[in-house]
Chains A and B, each alone.
Chain A
């Protein structure tokens, strides 16, 4: 166990220990009192074996803001996103150089348990992936049942309801919580996955193209949800849809690669409005105005 550094106080320490009291503390606070985390990368380089996928990324991800990562396919947005909660290393041969900090604490430092990092940095995937063997209720409670501490039934029910309400799904599913998660529509499944992710009360929520498999109505529902969730979480969203980035995000980061086979780089990051109206780099302007990519 590495001592938490910097601003992280006793609360973060308790959360890292994964104890039930810490969970209660994390869950009970009203939205305004809840503090999301800041993430920062310095000189981050990501590799798949010999392939250099992402080069020299320095970015600060602000708390309570939605940061959108845009850029053409293969430029390393998703790879970058997965490095933030140590999912990148699950790919065979994947390597990380540089520093990723969560409220000042290096998540790649020796002795850091990736399981605990992922508990604080949740993730929603491109296609909805509810656990097929579990009911709606069990899916939302999965993070609690699969975690370390024992959680009582009453508390579980409460977390499930709160998370489903938080994901705007409660009214649609409250009468069929014991039905399998796969019985829902695609958009509902994705909201179920968001409910599952926020049930463990992470501080940061990573979303990897969460709407790419959804129709426009379901997409709008998710975007509205993202707007609300930022009051409680730090949100990073990868998207191919520039309208979505413009609509749903506060900060936009543009990734690009000069040519195929070269590593992707962070070209420009700034307030979404600035990036879409007056970017400083020509490549960004070309991309957001649809001239290429």
Chain B
């Protein structure tokens, strides 16, 4: 059987031009399969959008393979089948993401008004805004980043430029272990540390920042290390050959070359921590008024705010729920804006490494 198939394939028959499906064939197959499946489902009375998509995908895979095999031969048919399968997997992966974005936007938009962005719930019954939480998120995340970025990048420089042997391997191992720390453990660690000095029940913004920096540092280290690794060695050698000390080579040649990638590394770290809830619940507490001093008093943040609005709604339950959704939407918007800024920086500063 196999032998016969090969003889019929275009290359073996020395005929370069084989049969080809029309350019729009894949689209046609998908549309046709969906229509056919919909009709079949309607006839059996079991119509459902999820079922339609699942069955439709399978039917179109079979259809494109059969049609292509008949016209183009087995190699092209397998290629088309794989293309379909990969596209389907991509769509499947996209469904939860899009659905989440859609739900958060739909439910968050009604609560997202001027009052939400500028007001606080202090002295307001069943209303108020989340300005205190937005500011708190910015301060806590900012301080955490201020702790993590220097430590993370310097550790990455050590691992990539200086470290060797056992110490390097041990550090890499512990960084990997740190990446897997459950966030609540980081929160409890920060709480326990501060409780030693300030007594139990202490709640400070800086505690939250410390807990978050425990989560952020390993991410920054690992991604910054990868970025430094791709700075080509011949650039370092060029600097050494000019009589440049090693530290200056790193500061003036390696880091600028890797700058765009380092920004991305920092962004990955921030994206990891900006939505953390559990460690902040035990370290920064819940509060109704604006506090921008991380060294004094409780500090609210968006994730904890969303949680507490949902958990303990006020007299007007629906308004509380709306504010929780709006807080979630704001959080996503902050991450998105930060990502866009990082992409912009990346595009501007990207160096072509030849």
From 23 to 41 in chain B, residues with beta carbon under 8 angstroms from any chain A beta carbon are none
Q: Which of A90, A120, A133 has the most CB of B within 10 A?
A: A133
B239-253: which have CB < 8 Å to A? 239-245, 248-249, 252-253
Contact with B along A100-119 (1 / 0, CB 8 A): 00000000000000011111
Residues of A within 8 A of B259 (CB): 133
**Residue B242 contacts which of A90, A133, A200 (CB distance < 8 angstroms)?**
A200
Judged by a CB distance under 8 angstroms, whether B164 is at the interface is yes
In A162-202, the 8 Å CB interface with B consists of 182, 193, 196-197, 200
Query: Which residues of the other chain, A, contact B253 by a CB distance below 8 angstroms?
Result: 131, 133, 146
Cβ–Cβ < 8 Å partners of A127 in chain B: 234
Q: Hey, which chain A residues are within 8 Å of B242, CB to CB?
A: 118-119, 122, 142-143, 146-147, 196-197, 200
In the complex, the answer to whether A122 meets B238 with C-beta atoms within 8 Å is no
Across the interface, do A92 and B164 meet the contact criterion of CB distance under 8 Å? yes
Task: Given A125-B234, A145-B252, check contact A133 B241 (CB 8 Å).
Answer: no
Interface membership of chain A positions 113-151, coded 1 if the CB is closer than 8 angstroms to chain B and 0 otherwise: 001111110110101010111000000001101111000
User: Does B66 belong to the interface (CB within 8 Å)?
Assistant: no
Chain A residues positioned under 8 Å from B245 (CB to CB):
115, 148
Contacting A122 at CB < 8 Å: which of B235, B241, B257?
A: B241
Total contacts A to B, CB within 8 angstroms?
81
Please indicate the chain A residues that have their CB under 8 angstroms from the CB of B238 in the complex: 125, 129, 131, 193, 196
Residues on A with beta carbons closer than 8 Å to the beta carbon of B243: 18, 115-120, 122, 143, 147, 200
- A132, B241: Cβ atoms closer than 8 Å: no
B20 at the interface (CB under 8 A from A): no
Q: Does A87 contact B234, Cβ atoms closer than 8 Å?
A: no
Q: Which residue of A lies closest to B350 (CB)?
A: A132
Partner of A133, one of B237, B244, B351: B351
The CA of A193 and the CA of B237, in the complex, are separated in Å by 12
* Interface of B (DSSP majority class): helix
How many residues in A have their beta carbons less than 8 Å from beta carbons of B? 30
Name the one of B164, B241, B252 contacting A118, with C-beta atoms under 8 angstroms: B241
Residue B127 CB within 8 A of the other chain: no
On chain B, the residues within 8 Å of A133 by CB distance are: 253, 256-257, 259, 351
B352 at interface by CB-CB < 8 Å = yes
Which chain B residues numbered 74 to 123 have a C-beta less than 8 Å away from chain A?
none
Docked CA distance A146–B251 (Å): 10
The listed residue (B237, B244, B252, B351) touching A132 by CB distance below 8 A is B351
Kindly state whether residue A85 has any CB partner on chain B within 8 Å.
yes
CB-CB under 8 A from B234, the residues of chain A are 125, 127, 129
A148, closest chain B residue (CB):
B245
Q: Which residues from A are CB-within-8-Å of B257? A: 131-133
How far does the alpha carbon of A131 sit from the alpha carbon of B231 in the complex, in Å?
A: 11
A196 cross-chain contacts in B, Cβ below 8 A: 238, 242
In whole angstroms, how far apart are the Cα atoms of A90 and B164 in the complex? Answer: 13
**B125: interface (CB < 8 Å):** no
A118 to B353, CA, bound (A): 24
- Complex: chain B residue closest to A120, CB-CB: B243
Q: Which residues of B contact A142 (CB under 8 A)?
A: 239, 242, 244, 252
- Distance A46 CA – B236 CA, assembled complex (angstroms): 22
Answer yes or no: B48 CB below 8 A from chain A CBs.
Answer: no
Name 20 extra pairs, CB < 8 A, besides A118-B243, A129-B354, A131-B235: A85-B241, A92-B164, A115-B240, A117-B243, A118-B241, A119-B242, A122-B242, A123-B237, A125-B234, A127-B234, A129-B232, A131-B253, A133-B253, A133-B256, A133-B259, A142-B239, A146-B244, A147-B243, A182-B352, A196-B238
